[in-house]
Amino acid sequence: MDTSTVSSGLQQYGQWGLAALTLAVALILLRRLLGNRLAFPYAQRESLFTPAERHFLCYLQKAVDGDALIFGKVRVADVLKPLDRLPGKRWHQAFHPISSKHFDYVLCDPDDLFVLCAIELNDSSHDNPERQQRDTFLRGACAAAELPLIEVPAKQRYVIKQLRKELEPHLP
C-alpha cells in the first residue's frame, strides 16, 4: 500500500470522524435541552396579575400613597402560621390548607415589613361555591390570627378617597 492511499484513507475517516463527533455533540446538547424541558415542564406566565388585579393595583397604590408597601400574590402560609403548640399531625393538618392559597395583596409597614392587612379583590369568580368556601376559610383564619382582611368588590372604577378611608385604620 502506498502512502498516498493511506493518507487519503485517513482524511476520509477524519472527515467522517469529525462529522460523527459533531453529530454526537449536537445530540447530547439536544437531549439535555429536551431532558430539561421534560424534567421541568414550565413556562413563564404572561403577567403576575389578571387585568382586573392590575387595574385595582393602580388605585390601591394611589390610596396607600406611600404609607405602606404593597405585595401581590402572597402565599397565605407566608403570612399566617399554625399555632406552635399544635402536635405534629395537627400542625400539618392546619398548615396544608394555607400552603396552597394566596392573598391578592398584602400591605406591609415600610419600616419593618410587618403585615398590616390582607386584601382580596372579589370578582365574579367569588360567586362560585368552591370559591365561597375558600373565602369563608380565609375570613376565619384571618380573624383567628387577628389579621385584618379587606374584601373589595371588583369594579370598573374605584374612588380613591373611599379606598383610602377603608385602609386608613390599618396603615401605620
User: Quick one: pLDDT at residue 17?
Assistant: 66
Q: Reply yes or no on whether the pLDDT at 6 is more than 50.
A: no
Write the CB contacts of 97 (distance below 8 Å, at least 6 apart in sequence): 137, 141
Q: What is the pLDDT of residues 9-35, one digit of tens each?
A: 445 556 666 666 677 666 666 666 666
Q: Angle 88-99/129-145 helices, nearest 10 degrees?
A: 120
Q: What's at 83, amino acid-wise?
A: L
Give the predicted TM-score (pTM) of the model: 0.75
Q: Stretch 136-145: mean pLDDT, rounded? A: 97
Q: Where are the domains of the chain?
A: 1-43, 51-170
Q: Reply yes or no on whether the pLDDT at 77 is more than 80.
A: yes
C-alpha cell at 64: 396607600
Q: Are 78 and 102 in contact (CB under 8 A)?
A: no
